[in-house]
Each structure stands twice: as structure tokens, then as C-alpha cells.
Structure 1
Amino acid sequence: MTIALTPRRAAACALTAALLLPLAACGGEEGGGTENAGGEGQKTELTVLAAASLTDVFKTAGAAYEKAHPGTTVKFSFAGSQDLAAQVKQGAPADALVTADEKTMDGLKSDTGTPTVIAKNRLVIAAGKGNPKNIKDLNDLAKGDLKVVLAAPEVPVGRYSQQVLDQQNVDVKPVSQEPNVRAVLSKVELGEADAGLVYKTDIAAADGKAEGIDIPDAQNAIAAYPAATLKVSEHSDAAAAFVKWLSGAEAQKILADAGFQKP
């Protein structure tokens, strides 16, 4: 059945079409998503869950990434790796994860993409500024008059610490067990503890507020930092691009300058 258009109806149809045309043109922009980081007119905000020991270096790395990818901003959430794992298991809205050990990452296989180790680290003894207790090695940490603080055993640096102490048969009774490595360092910096075990990069970031005493390689533990995308990410392509960038030359130089070892 064909309905004849009166001049009045034809004019109304033409006006409706004219009004809808600009909306149709805008629809492509609104529905285009944010996967293509750096695309003109497109914005992507990546949320990266990262181990506390990456706090300083990742701020530098994030700024470098944003400069190279103008359409992308990177927001970090720093905590102990065990806390980050709990957030992932609870479905926290994030795009990528970087832990301070492979064990934690391996426990999240159903929630992540394939991880890639982007850096390594090693332990040092953190002492107060100027090393007032004259701490020389791991054995000194067992002295009864020394207040030693360690990370909790479920924290990667806490496991590494207990591993090196056990291997040297050093019995340390910590005055506290902290939720992440930065909390251990803070206790030493504030004089609330005489010593603690932290990563080499944490001493580098202490800016003279704490003294680092090296642990020989044969007595040390090496920490590996795997990075992976998260399956809940709404920006999977952009997240994968960031994780891949962390293994590239620019990011690796930033990590090396901060004292991290090559993967």
C-alpha cells in the first residue's frame, strides 16, 4: 500500500531527516571505543596494578609512555603483590598487573594473559642513615639488641627475606612484619627499626634516608617481576601494548637507571 505524501508531510519528513543526519555522524565517534591508543579524538585510561617496589620507577615509566602515546593515560595502583592478587580475584576493574614474584602471578592464570618477566631485583640490608649500628652482614641481624623489621611471609620480599636468612641459618625475630617492602623501608627511615631487608632499588629511591648493605650473590635471592594483561580489561589491545612496551628499549632503560636488573 502506497501512502501519498502531501506537501506538508513531505516537508516534515525532510526536516526529520535533516535533524537525524548529524546524530548519525556523531554515532560513529561515540561508539568507536578506546582500544586504539593514540588515535585522534580517542582517549584510553589504563589502570595498572603494580608491586610497591615499582612505585618510583613506574611513575617515570608511565610519564614516558603517555608522552609516546598521546591518547593514553596510565593510572597505577601500588600495593604488596599479595594484596594486588586479592584485588584481581575480587574482579577489580583494571587492565594489567605487575607483581614482584612469579609465584603470585602463577596463582592468577585464570585471570591474566601470558605473563612476561620485565625486570629482576635483589635484596639488600637497609640500615639507618649512616649505619649507626655498624651492620656488616646478615649474621648481624640476629643480634639481640638490634630491632629488625621484615615484610610478612605472604609478601614476596618477605618470602625472599626468610629464604636468605634460612639458608644462612640466621635466626631473626622481627619487631614487626609489614604488608609491603616500602613499609619496611619506612620503619628504618623513621628510626622505628635498626634494620630490615628490602630490594636494592628501594635503597636507591631512599634518597639518603637509609643505608644499604650489600648481600653477596651466593647468599642472595633474585626477585623476578612478571607483567600480564588482565582478562577483565575493557581495553585489551591497549593493555597488551603497554605490557609489550615494558620489555622494549625505552622502558628497559628506565628500569635499569632505577637499579633493576635485566629480565
Structure 2
Amino acid sequence: MNARAMLTAMAFVVTVAGCGAGDDRTSGGAADGRGVGAVTVFAAASLTESFTRIGKDFEAANPGSTVTLNVAGSSALANQINQGAPADVFASAAPANMATVTGAGNADGTPSIFARNQLVIAVPRGNPEGVKGLADLGKPDVKVALCAQQVPCGAAARTALDSAGITLTPATLEQDVKGALAKVKLGEVDAALVYRTDARAASADVTAVEFPESARAVNDYPIVALKDAPNPSGARAFVAYVRSAAAQAVLVEAGFQAP
């Protein structure tokens, strides 16, 4: 993959803070997290808010470190990693996309589940279409956004819809959960199946409608350090931090379920 293609593939990159620069931006550092330097984390789009905060907390706990997030759909991130994109850590919204990376031999160790997430129906504030459950999404006058099926939120939506025996033709298929949620916020659709955490983060603009079938489509979130990480010790330190009590509290506050 050449440099131009690599830049095109990187979906949405966030430099969390940058508590230090200089030589600390190179790889290296102790496994205990001291002086870990720069850590690049590829994370599912649904982790954007939580990992931004966790990244800042990690930097505060490790002076001189920096965390850079590349957030996108898990399937896209897995493909980027397998094509050689430089990354230290991969946090996926589903085991299937993690398996794409581990199956290619690109993981350093065994992934661990650090959180779980569940779907809700996101509707505009005030719920103008009166959506009360999945059955309402099948009505011909209700426009619905879904994630594409290769994306974890799309696979979970399909599982929930199938379990309820509901067939619908989505108005749009998005490449990550943020895209589906944006369609509701912009008023382009009447509803979207998104994660509870994303609806909570956008509560100023959308209302979350819970539905019982979501219990059959709970997504496990695995995380792993990567085999060709530019900063192996930093990768291991970040993975350990995500599993710590402090980071777990951030995830639970955001609406994730404990593993």
C-alpha cells in the first residue's frame, strides 16, 4: 500500500491530546506504561467518545505519551491493518472483524473482551413517527438507516430484525454506526438502529427507543496489541489500561456493559 493510498484508507484520525512531543513520539517505553511514547489505536467508530476520554486519561497517567485514534467501521479497520497500515492496537466492535486480523497473523497474543454493547432505535427528539419498537420500522412510510451488514452494528441489526421476523428495506446503508446516527440527526431518516452508547452520546439530538429483541444481538468488543506495532510496549500498556478499573468506569458511564 503506497503512502497516498494509506492516507486515503485512514478514515477519521483523532489526536487525543499530545501531553508531550519531542523524542517521546518515537516507539519504546517500559511495559508498565512509563514513557510509552506514541500509541496509535485503531478503534471501532462506536468507541470514539469513550476512547477519546480514555486516551486522555492514559496520557495523564503516562507523561510524555500520546494516543492517536483512527476510528471507522471495524471491517474497514481490519482491512487497513491487514494491508499494512501502521497501528499499535486494534479495538473491534465484534469478534468477527477481530478474527480477520488474528486469522492473518497480525495480532500479538490473544484478544480479550473489554466491553459489550446493545442496539437501540434512534429517532429524532420528540419521536415524530411514534416509533415504539422494531415492528414500527417495517411500516412503509418509515425511513430507516442501517449499518451495512459487514459492519458489526449492521450484523447485529440483521440478527435482531430476523429474530423479530421483520423485513424492511433501509433507506440507506452506512459504513459505520456514526453514519447511521447522522442520518437521524440530519432529519434524513425517521429512525436508525444504532448502539445504545452512540444514542446516549447524541442525546441532545436523538431519543433512544429500547426494544427487547436487542438482547439477542449483543456485541462483544475485543482488543489486542498488534504483531507489527511500531510501539510494542506502548501497545501492551494501552491494552492493559483499557482493561483497568478506571477505563472500565468510563465505558460503563458511556453505556457499555461490562464484559
- TM normalised by structure 2 equals 0.86
Looking at structure 2, the residues matched to 250 and 137 of structure 1 have their Cα atoms a distance apart, in angstroms, of 35
- How far did residue 33 of structure 1 move? 5.9
Are 1:58 and 2:54 an aligned pair? no
Are 1:70 and 2:70 an aligned pair? no
Quote the residue 1:250 is aligned against. Answer: 246
- How far did residue 237 of structure 1 move? 1.4
In our comparison, the structure showing a higher alpha carbon Rg is 1
Does the aligned pair in 1 maintain the 2:41–2:87 contact within 8 Å? Answer: yes
Q: Percent identity?
A: 41
Does the aligned pair in 2 maintain the 1:95–1:236 contact within 8 Å? Answer: yes
Are 1:128 and 2:128 an aligned pair? no
Q: Which moved more, 1:128-137 or 1:209-218?
A: 209-218
Quote the residue 2:154 is aligned against. Answer: 158
Does the aligned pair in 2 maintain the 1:120–1:261 contact within 8 Å? Answer: yes
Looking at structure 1, the residues matched to 216 and 123 of structure 2 have their Cα atoms a distance apart, in angstroms, of 17
- How far did residue 34 of structure 1 move? 2.2
SS in structure 1 at match of 2:153? helix
2:29 to 26, 30, 35: 35
Unaligned runs of 5+ in 2: 1-22
Pairs within 5 Å for 1:167-206: 167-206=163-202
CA deviations on 1:238-260 (whole Å, 9 max, x unpaired) are 21111011111000001111111
Letter in 1 for 2:137: L
Q: CA RMSD in A?
A: 1.7
Looking at structure 1, the residues matched to 165 and 27 of structure 2 have their Cα atoms a distance apart, in angstroms, of 57
CA deviations on 1:152-203 (whole Å, 9 max, x unpaired) are 0111100000111011110110011000000000000110000010000011
- How far did residue 144 of structure 1 move? 0.2
2:99 to 106, 123, 127: 106
Looking at structure 1, the residues matched to 176 and 204 of structure 2 have their Cα atoms a distance apart, in angstroms, of 20
Looking at structure 1, the residues matched to 177 and 187 of structure 2 have their Cα atoms a distance apart, in angstroms, of 16
1:222 to 218, 223, 229: 218
SS in structure 2 at match of 1:108? helix
Quote the residue 1:236 is aligned against. Answer: 232
- TM normalised by structure 1 equals 0.84
**Are residues 166 and 159 of structure 1, via their aligned partners in 2, closer, same or farther at CA, if it must alter by over 3 Å?**
same
CA deviations on 1:207-259 (whole Å, 9 max, x unpaired) are 32011100116754111110001111121112111101111100000111111
Are 1:91 and 2:84 an aligned pair? yes
Q: Which moved more, 1:217-226 or 1:231-240?
A: 217-226
Quote the residue 1:9 is aligned against. Answer: none
Does the aligned pair in 2 maintain the 1:123–1:220 contact within 8 Å? Answer: no
Looking at structure 1, the residues matched to 253 and 213 of structure 2 have their Cα atoms a distance apart, in angstroms, of 20
CA deviations on 1:118-137 (whole Å, 9 max, x unpaired) are 10010000111110100000
**Are residues 219 and 247 of structure 1, via their aligned partners in 2, closer, same or farther at CA, if it must alter by over 3 Å?**
closer
